[in-house]
Structure 1
Amino acid sequence: MKAAIYIRVSTDMQAEEGFSVEGQRQKLASYAQSQDWIIFDEYIDDGYSAKDLERPEMQRLLKNMEEKKFDVVLVYKLDRLTRSVGDLHKLLKTFDKYGVKFRSSTEIFETTTAMGRFFITLVGAMAEWERGTISERVRFGVEQMVREGKRPGGIIPYGYTQDEELVQEEAEIIREARRLYHTGLGYMSVAFQLNSRGLLRRGREWTAATVEYTLENPYYAGIIRLGSKTSDGTYVNSKRDERVNCIYGKGSHKPIFTTEEYEETKDLMKRRATGGYSKNKIYWFSGVLRCGRCGAAMFGRLTTKRSKKSGEVVRTQYYICSNKHANKSCSMPTFRQVHIEHLVNEYIKNIIKADSSMIESEMKSLTTKQIDVEDSVQLAKKELAKVLKRKENWQFMFVEGLISKEDIRKRIKNEEEIEQELRRKIAESKNNISGLPRLKTLMSYEESWQIANDEERKEIVFTTFEKITVNTNLTNVKGVKNKFFDAYIDEIKFN
């Protein structure tokens, strides 16, 4: 008979318990030899939980089973195969379907009778119960720590040392991020402002995601929270993929924001996310548009007229030179916003048309680089998942009294250092592919512009352009409905 050996190790600690890959391999090879079985292949899932069957080697084993490449599946213990009763039933049915036997080297199972099936199902149920009990104990211990205001582990947020001491310089940058957001800028625009002024996050650039995370994080208001809050007041635990109540506790660290300031920011984030936000976002080009005659800034204003035919109120956005508005010292006519939009889009189209060959080369280079970076990110994420699992097990051992308080501190600190380094690698890798070449950015500009809302268009302009200078040879413009007067872009400076 041909045997398929299946080996699973979920954590490094199992090596100490006799469940190491090599330990299982030797014992299973000896067992197969004692039965005069030929080992067809070894299927090893290193660092995977038995909560489901989504494991690479398990999937390969099932595929080879369909191809009838072996006659029996051999494991060290049943819980190496699965800890879920539902998955166990699926596997037993699959074994029957393809005429494959199942054998555990340390347990006596036979699946040809109803009693034998009942017994193996009972053992599987006990394994699932054990996994659930361990998970509940760990979660209970962690939640209790949070309620008592103690951090259950994890990386200390930017702005604090590993001892939770406030870093004053970093706290000022965080306060500045909040101030910029409250002026009406979006996450991307806040990130750009901070980066352009050299206010980096310990040498790394801000992104829209890190700005949003910082403003939403209650830790900066002196609150410890277990999980990331969702719209329904719960959080999703990614390790167990389940929705549980969000747990809060008052921390002992020095806050950067008051509770009132934090709630004010959260309220603003909610209003902006649901669309109930400021009308000043309708002026897409404010802040970057300049007059081509006098060099002054052009700002937006809104005209309101009632249609003679329908009676509906029609609002139109215009831009006017600030010198013309202030003292009539400039003769630049006003521009409708749609006119500026048209001029900018045409300008960009001309750049793309002139540099099409260069764009193709840039895109090929970027695609190759992006594949390499994504591979390294996936590898780092797998390593990170192992670290998080190890931390959970150390916490369980501490709750069970298997290791001392001093010992868990050392182990958790070591795991956190590894975790921080992995997260740094992931962030750096993503930054490497986020800084797209300018030409590719311009290629996607028109597509992004068409699907963006007012707020997003404002951010696209702010992050793409430093200055847009518009000009015309005309002075007195007599507007023709739905038509543009002769005008052009003098200059565009890109960020």
Structure 2
Amino acid sequence: MRVAIYIRVSTDMQAEEGFSIEGQRSRLISFAESQDWTVYDFYVDDGYSAKDLKRPSMQRMLEDMENKKFDVVLVYKLDRLTRSVGDLHSLLKIFDLYSVKFKSATEIFETTTAMGRFFITLVGAMAEWERGTISERVRFGVEQMVAEGRRPGGVRPFGYTPDEQLIPEEAKLIREVRELYMSGLGYKSVAMRMNRAGKLRRGKDWTDATVAYTLENPYYAGIIRIGSKTPAGTYVNSKKDERVKCVYGKGSHEAIFTLEEYEELKAYMGRKSNGGFSPIATYWFSGVLRCGRCGAAMFGRMTTKRTTSKGTVRSQYYICSNRHHSKTCDLPMFRQTHIEHLVFQYINQIQADMEKLNDEAIKIFADEGRKNSEIDVAKRELSKVAERREKWKYMFVEGLIGKQEIRKKMAEEDEREKELRQRIVQEQKAFSGIPRIEELVGLAEGWSYFDDQEKKELIYTIFGEIIVNTDLKNVKGVKNKFFDAYIQDISFN
């Protein structure tokens, strides 16, 4: 009779006598020989729990059973096969379906009678109870660690060392991710902006998933959590979804966000995910608009609902994040239509004199050709410097010049090389930030035909930053009028 020997060890039982892989293997081989059975194959699951059947060797054994490659399954003990009564019944049905017998080397089971099946089910129930008891003890220990403010293992969060010390450079990136998200950008847009700026996450690109996880993780607010993640949009103490089984504790590590900032962030995420927040596409300038007084990002919000002759309406506006969060800035809020007006004022100023614009463009391109020529000249000079260095070395080796003279010559060449490299860098930098005039003209001409998403993407593609300011502090709203303000600076991508 062909026998399939199934062996399983969980991590905490590998060292126990009788339950190790080799311990089970030797006893099961001896048992098979005593029954005059031929071992077809060994199916070993090393370090897998018996809570379910999702084990590599278990699945391979079931597949071979379907192909009728053996006649009996042999285990050391029933709990090596499964600790779930439901899985036990499923396996016994599969064994019957393919006419495969089941045998435990240390227990006596008879599965062909009702009493035998009752007995094996009873033993299986005891194994399931034991697994549940072990799980409860482990869970209790982990919960106690959390209650004491200790983190129960796992991958160290970005921003901290393995011993939970804050890494200032990484913490700065985490705060920047939050600031970008609160300015109105989505997860993917935040990731793109961080990656484009070269601000990577432990040397790897940000993704929408890592941005979402970073924002949602309560660890950055000084909270340790075990269990399922709280769905985006619910608070850490929410009972909205009873399926979420989480335990929280106050950690001893240094937090990056205050609890108030984290609660604000979660509420913001909730409004976006539950439909109580206007879609991000309606905030055309989010992610690029900055405060001219403090330099902080400005993010979009909606006004409260108001009733007009056209029905209930809400308007978009932008507010400085420092004014909103800490009251440390007094820049007035700007309506989105006001920002739109200022941006196109800027573009119209460029377009005002097309002749001058064309002259400027011709000058720019001519200047670009001149600078490229100067860069080429500098690069040729660098090649000559390298050639002269080799000549001085040759002359020194041949005894044509002494030590003092070659040192002087090499120092001169070093200085010359440094000067040439600086010139190349300066010439290359001279063209960074030149506005792409054709894009600005196209933006102005097609703006009224674009939908919200297209407007958002165009602004994000063309502009790096748009900095707005005003000399006013207290602005009183005037219907259909803009207060005096100006664009302080614009940078281009």
Scaled by the length of structure 2, what TM-score is found? Answer: 0.57
Q: Which amino acid aligns with 2:345?
A: H
How many angstroms apart in 1 are the aligned matches of 2:161 and 2:197? 24
How many angstroms apart in 1 are the aligned matches of 2:209 and 2:456? 14
How many angstroms apart in 2 are the aligned matches of 1:127 and 1:92? 16
How many angstroms apart in 1 are the aligned matches of 2:343 and 2:63? 74
How many angstroms apart in 2 are the aligned matches of 1:203 and 1:139? 35
Question: Is 1:229 aligned to residue 249 of structure 2?
Answer: no
SS in structure 2 opposite 1:157? coil
Question: What residue is the counterpart of 1:353 in the other structure?
Answer: none
1:3 Cα deviation from its structure 2 partner: 1.4
1:155 Cα deviation from its structure 2 partner: 2.6
1:243 Cα deviation from its structure 2 partner: 4.2
Alpha-carbon distance change, 460 to 98 in structure 1, aligned in 2, over 3 angstroms: farther
1:244 Cα deviation from its structure 2 partner: 5.1
Q: Are the counterparts in 2 of residues 283 and 458 from structure 1 also a CA contact under 8 Å?
A: no
How many angstroms apart in 2 are the aligned matches of 1:213 and 1:455? 28
Q: What are the equivalent positions in structure 2 for 1:90-489 lying under 5 Å apart?
A: 90-227=90-227, 228-230=229-231, 243=243, 245-278=245-278, 281-282=281-282, 325=345, 329-331=349-351, 465=461
Q: Are the counterparts in 1 of residues 225 and 246 from structure 2 also a CA contact under 8 Å?
A: yes
- Please tell me the root mean square deviation across aligned C-alpha atoms, in Å: 3.9
Alpha-carbon distance change, 87 to 330 in structure 1, aligned in 2, over 3 angstroms: same
Alpha-carbon distance change, 201 to 73 in structure 1, aligned in 2, over 3 angstroms: same
CA displacement, residues 148-189 of structure 1 (integer Å, 9 cap, x when unaligned): 322222233222222222222222222222222222122222
SS in structure 2 opposite 1:329? helix
1:95 Cα deviation from its structure 2 partner: 2.3
Alpha-carbon distance change, 462 to 274 in structure 1, aligned in 2, over 3 angstroms: farther
1:50 Cα deviation from its structure 2 partner: 1.4
How many angstroms apart in 1 are the aligned matches of 2:452 and 2:248? 33
Q: Are the counterparts in 1 of residues 283 and 456 from structure 2 also a CA contact under 8 Å?
A: no
Unmatched 5+ stretches in structure 2: 289-309, 316-335, 353-450, 465-491
CA displacement, residues 373-394 of structure 1 (integer Å, 9 cap, x when unaligned): xxxxxxxxxxxxxxxxxxxxxx
How many angstroms apart in 2 are the aligned matches of 1:38 and 1:19? 23
1:37 Cα deviation from its structure 2 partner: 0.9
Alpha-carbon distance change, 94 to 459 in structure 1, aligned in 2, over 3 angstroms: farther
How many angstroms apart in 1 are the aligned matches of 2:343 and 2:247? 55
Q: Are the counterparts in 2 of residues 233 and 246 from structure 1 also a CA contact under 8 Å?
A: no
CA displacement, residues 58-92 of structure 1 (integer Å, 9 cap, x when unaligned): 23323333333322211111111111111112222
Larger Rg: 2
1:103 Cα deviation from its structure 2 partner: 0.9
Alpha-carbon distance change, 233 to 30 in structure 1, aligned in 2, over 3 angstroms: farther
Structure number with greater CO (CA < 8 Å, separation at least 6) is: 1
Alpha-carbon distance change, 326 to 458 in structure 1, aligned in 2, over 3 angstroms: closer
CA displacement, residues 95-116 of structure 1 (integer Å, 9 cap, x when unaligned): 2333322111122222233332
Alpha-carbon distance change, 184 to 12 in structure 1, aligned in 2, over 3 angstroms: same
How many angstroms apart in 2 are the aligned matches of 1:18 and 1:26? 10
| Range 205-214 or range 61-70, more displaced | 61-70
Question: Is 1:26 aligned to residue 6 of structure 2?
Answer: no
Q: Are the counterparts in 2 of residues 103 and 109 from structure 1 also a CA contact under 8 Å?
A: yes
Scaled by the length of structure 1, what TM-score is found? Answer: 0.57
Q: Are the counterparts in 1 of residues 183 and 287 from structure 2 also a CA contact under 8 Å?
A: no
Alpha-carbon distance change, 204 to 459 in structure 1, aligned in 2, over 3 angstroms: farther
